[in-house]
Copies of this chain bind each other. A is one copy, B any other.
Amino acid sequence: MRNERKNSIRRNIIDTASRLFYEQGYGNTGINQIIEESGVVKSSLYTAFRTKEEILMAYLETAGAATDEALKTAANKHTKAKDKVLGVFDFLIELVQQKDYYGCNFLNIISEVPKDAAVVRRQIKKQKDGVRRLFAEILTPIQKEDLADEIYVLFEGALIGNKVHDDTWPVTAAREVVNKLL
């Protein structure tokens, strides 16, 4: 019961903050907006999290786990290595066309965190290293793991290109290069 309540507060904050951080950005989201939209009192928020940055970390971890899962699922729809990789890019193509898609959770954050927020940067790097590893794991069976990072660079180019141009073509272009590479 106690934990339920604590968790409900934490969850509530993380859920609200996640939505706001994602839609508006970290800097453009104030603690006050988080408490208003979550209904959690300010001091309770600061009992659950010591700083705004800690909320950001929770957001990154939550979104990170979901992203890992989604990418793996997309890959595992296929059996052959090349299809798995292409499956990831197919997933991206669908993803970026969703109307509530505002770009990659992690790339959105990385440019607006202050210099001294090394923990945040490290977490994002860690998340992205997971994607590199995913590609490497898929490609190892066909002895093409040395292509993992090249494909990863295309993955990032697809995401940020979509953000800049607000269009699907960067993802499609990246997929096409992957298709040629493998």
Contacts and interface: CB of A to CB of B under 8 A. Distances in A.
Interface of A: 23-25, 27-28, 103, 106-112, 114-115, 121, 124-125, 128-129, 149-150, 152-161, 163-166, 169-170, 173-174, 176-177, 180-181
Nearest to A155: B157
Given A111-B108, A181-B180, A153 B158 contact: yes
A169 B25 CA distance: 28
| Chain A interface helix/strand/loop/mixed | helix
B161 A153 contact: yes
Contacts of A181: 177, 180
22 contacts: A23-B115, A25-B111, A25-B112, A27-B28, A27-B112, A28-B112, A110-B111, A110-B164, A111-B111, A111-B112, A112-B112, A129-B165, A150-B174, A153-B154, A153-B161, A153-B173, A154-B177, A155-B157, A156-B160, A159-B160, A160-B160, A177-B177
